[in-house]
Amino acid sequence: MRIVKALPTMMTVGLSFVVTICAAVLCDGAFTSVSAQNVTGQALIEKTFPHSIKCKRCHERVYEEWETSPLAKSIHSPAFRASLDAYLNSPAGKDKALCFRCHASHVREFQEHVQLFIDQAKTGDPSLDGVACSQCHLIKQVDRTKHPPEPKYEIGGKTLYGPYQDFVQNLAHQSVELSLFQKSDLCLNCHQSVPSASNLGKTNDLLGNWDQSRAIKSGKECQTCHMPQQVGESANGEKKRKIANHTFPGRIGKLRQEAAKLDVQTKIDGDKTTVMVKVQSLVPHNLPTTHPAWASVVLALEIKGKNLKTVFSDKRVYGRTYLDAQGQKTIFDFEAAKVAEDTVLKPEETRDEIFTFPTPKDTKTFDVEVGLNYAPLNGPASFLQRVEAESSQGSQDPVFQPIEIVKRTENIPVAK
């Protein structure tokens, strides 16, 4: 009887074992199929848009400059991964390719492989390029009638476009001079507006009326500041000439020190002191002009009295505040239904700020410190914690630190 009773149990265990093995085989086959599909997809993408590492073989200087730039981190950054997850998990996230149309613009040609772009970005160390050599130098036209402007690529051949007339003949690719590469139009498909907030129209533009600025009217383009000319070699071993810098200075780099001026005047009137700060934007576009959902510039005033103790502080914030459909604040453009407040410094704008406070006592002098800084990344605690968790540097990630634009310090005597 014990043997008879054991048989069903043994059969059940055996059947379970067989089912488990079959499931494992089937799953392994599924993983193999997905993996093979990804490999095939990536090979196709990199055949059409050659990986930047291939360009390094002949353009080492350009590659090394680009590698230090924000563009090279377009799908690597923890903030992008955290935002991508938030978008994909939102009701607006049905268009999976939306974020990549700027952060890896060649997704436009590979909509059917968008999941590969997502999977790659989520690894934190994608082998796919985001914004690199091919993503720019295969652009032959930018359609400004679209919102946002749309790039048109030359694919299927060996032609690359650029600004140089005296290019070096080579066997790797055909080079063609294109005036587009000396015009701001080249940058507009990613830097003029945010696609996910297109319902907000002009209230959510990134640049403002840049094309009406004094800089543009004097003949300056985006490349004048953000790809400044230098002397060097474009390709390894060629003669030195004027070429474009590919570190793309802006918020990162010394260029930001030329973004604004501060004029500070302090007036003591008995027990009351007034500090008047004239903030002059020197750039032909909005300041800030990075992702408006969380980018802001802060004017901070600090008054230090006896023993350099801070006796007063105040600030002004330049940026945008969004409300979602429920009227709640949000940092995400794809949730934005309304721009509640816009204090962004407009192109070449000068703004006067007035601070009033009690005159410091028991001191012969006091210090006035005024600084204009890019603010650290802001947003809900859950979002910031996610970014910190995604970063290899944790809370020390540079996005959590302010970046100084300009600073003024004055020592003011207190009349007896």
Contacting residues for 292 by C-beta, under 8 A, at least 6 apart = 194, 204, 206, 319, 320, 333, 344
Query: What is the pLDDT, as a whole number, of residue 35?
Result: 65
What band does 90 get if pLDDT is binned at 50, 70 and 90? Answer: very high
What pTM does this model have? 0.86
> Domain limits of the chain?
1-36, 52-244, 254-413
CA-wise closest residue to 134 among 170, 107, 99, 167: 107
Query: What is the pLDDT, as a whole number, of residue 37?
Result: 65
Residues 95-121, mean pLDDT to the nearest whole number: 95
pLDDT in tens, 361-372: 899 999 999 999
pLDDT, the chain, mean: 88
Q: From CA 403, how far away is CA 256, in angstroms rounded?
A: 9
What band does 8 get if pLDDT is binned at 50, 70 and 90? Answer: very low
Query: What is the pLDDT, as a whole number, of residue 204?
Result: 78
Q: Specify the residue for token string 């009773």.
A: 5
Beta bridge partners of 2: none
Query: What is the pLDDT, as a whole number, of residue 408?
Result: 97
Long-range CB pairs of 106-113, under 8 A, 24+ apart, other chains included: 106/45, 106/48, 106/49, 106/134, 106/135, 106/153, 108/150, 108/151, 108/153, 109/48, 109/49, 109/153, 109/155, 110/41, 110/44, 110/45, 110/48, 113/41, 113/44, 113/45
226 CB-side CA count, 13 A: 20
- Does position 86 have pLDDT exceeding 90, yes or no? yes
What band does 5 get if pLDDT is binned at 50, 70 and 90? Answer: very low
- Coil vs helix vs strand at 69: coil
- Does position 350 have pLDDT exceeding 60, yes or no? yes
Residues 22-44, mean pLDDT to the nearest whole number: 60
Q: From CA 351, how far away is CA 278, in angstroms rounded?
A: 6
Among 26-40, 75-89, 287-301, 309-323, where is mean pLDDT lowest? 26-40
- Does position 292 have pLDDT exceeding 80, yes or no? no
Portion of the chain with pLDDT greater than 90, in percent: 71
CATH topology of domain 254-413: Immunoglobulin-like (2.60.40)
Q: At residue 280, what is the residue type?
A: Q
DSSP 345: B
Q: Which pair of tokens denotes residue 257? A: 């020190």
- 3-state secondary structure string, 238-255? CCCEEEECCCCCCCCCHH
